[in-house]
Structure 1
Amino acid sequence: MLGKTNLLNAIAGKKRGNMASQTEKQAILAAIASLEDLNPTPRPFEALNVNLLDGNWRLVYTTSQELLNLDRIPLCQVNSIYQCIRVADKTIYNLAEISGLPYLEGLISVAAKFEPISERRVQVKFERGVVGLQRFLRYQSPNDLINRMQTGNKLSPIDFAINSDRQQGWLDITYLDEDLRIGRGNEGSVFVLTKT
C-alpha cells in the first residue's frame, strides 16, 4: 500500500519524532490522516480482529511530549518504546528501554487495564509502574518482563501501584493492519507503532 510506505518513509530516521522539523511533522501528520482514511480494520475489537491487535508493538513515531521528553533525560537515551497488548487479559504494558552509562541501562514500565467503550476506543486505567536497572530486573525482553509482572511479585525497589481513578485516559485505534497500528489519545497525541 503506497500510503503506508509513504508514512514509514516519512518517519524513518526521525527518532520517534524528536528529529523531525516542523515541516516534516506537518507532512507526517498529513500522511497519517490519509492512511487513517484507508483503515482496513475500523472495528478492532470484533472477534475476528483481536488477533491483529494482540502482541508487541514498537513505537516508531509520536507527538506525545511525555514520551519524546524521555530522550531529554541527561546521560540517557531511549532505545525502544514498546506497547504490548494482551487482549485476553485486557492489559497494556508500556515499556521504555533506556541506555546510558555502561551497565546502567534502565527500564520504565507501566501496566494498565483497558476496556473497549466503542468500536474503536478503549478506556485505559493505569495500575502499576516499575522502574529500575535492566541488570537488576534481569530484563531480557518485553515478553519476559510481562510474564514476571503478571505473577504480581515486586520486581524492583521502585515497583508501585498507580491510582487508576486519577491516572486514566482513552485511546482511539484509527488504523490497524497485520503490522501497523495508529492511535490517537485523549491528550491529542498521535502514536504510530509497528508489530514486532
Structure 2
Amino acid sequence: MSLKTELLEAIKDKNRGLSATENDKVKILTAVEKLEDHNPNLDPFNNLSLVDGNWRLLYTTSRSILGLNNLPLLGLGEVYQCIRISTNKIYNLAQIKGLPFLDGLVSVSANFEIVSAKRINVKFERSIIGLQKILGYLSPENFIDKIEAGKYFLPLDFNLELLNNNNQQGWLEITYLDENMRIGRGNEGNVFILERF
C-alpha cells in the first residue's frame, strides 16, 4: 500500500475530522508525517500551477471549521479552498446544511504573500455569511466570480479589516503537494488535507 493510499484509508469515513477519535487523529497525523517525508514538490510555490485552483477539504484538525457543525439545526457540508495565484487570493467556502431551502454558506477571502518556497502569509479581508439561495450560490467557482466582479452581499458581508480582528492574519505552509492532493499546516497548528476538484 502506498503512503498516500494509507493516508486516504486513515481519513476515510471521518467526515473531514468530525467523527475522528483521539486514536484516529494519532493514526492520521502519523500517516500525514510519513507522506510529508516523501513530498514530490519540496518547493511548492516554485510550482505555482500545482498550487493554483480549486481544492475540496478531506480532513482537518481546525476547530474553527469543524465548529461550524455545532450550529443549532445545522450541519457542516462540503468545504472548499480556492487559490487564485494570478490575484494572490484565497477563498475559503463552507456549505452549511440546514432545513430544506435554508442551506447556508460561510465564506472568507484573504490576500496572501509568498514568503518562501513553502509558506505564504495570509491576511483575511472579507467574510460573507448567508443563505445560499439569497446569495445566489451555485458553485464555488460561480460565487468567486461574483466576488471578483465586485458583487456585494450586504447585510451579512463583513470587511474584516474594519472589524480589527486580531485573528485576521496567519500563515499557511504546504508540506505535501502533487497533482491532486495538498497537505498544509497553519499557524495555529492545524492540519489540512485537500484534493483538487
Question: What is the TM-score with the length of structure 1 in the denominator?
Answer: 0.96
Q: How does 1:1-196 map to 2 (within 5 A)?
A: 2-46=2-46, 49-163=47-161, 166=166, 167-196=168-197
Deviations 1:76-117 (A, max 9, x none): 111100000001111000000111111100000000001111
Matched residue SS, 1:45: helix
Deviations 1:143-191 (A, max 9, x none): 0000000122212420111117831000110000000000000000000
Conservation of the 8 A alpha-carbon contact between 1:78 and 1:97: yes
Conservation of the 8 A alpha-carbon contact between 2:66 and 2:76: no
Aligned length: 194
Shift of residue 5, structure 1, vs aligned partner: 0.5
Distance 1:165 1:64 in 2: 18
Distance 1:117 1:55 in 2: 20
Higher helix residue share: 2
Distance 1:12 1:36 in 2: 19
Matched residue SS, 2:102: coil
CA RMSD after TM alignment: 1.2
Distance 1:154 1:3 in 2: 44
Conservation of the 8 A alpha-carbon contact between 1:129 and 1:162: yes
- Structure 2: stretches of 5+ with no match in the other structure: none
Moved over 2 A (4+): none
Matched residue SS, 1:39: coil
Question: What is the TM-score with the length of structure 2 in the denominator?
Answer: 0.95
Give the fraction of aligned pairs with identical amino acids, expressed as a percent: 52
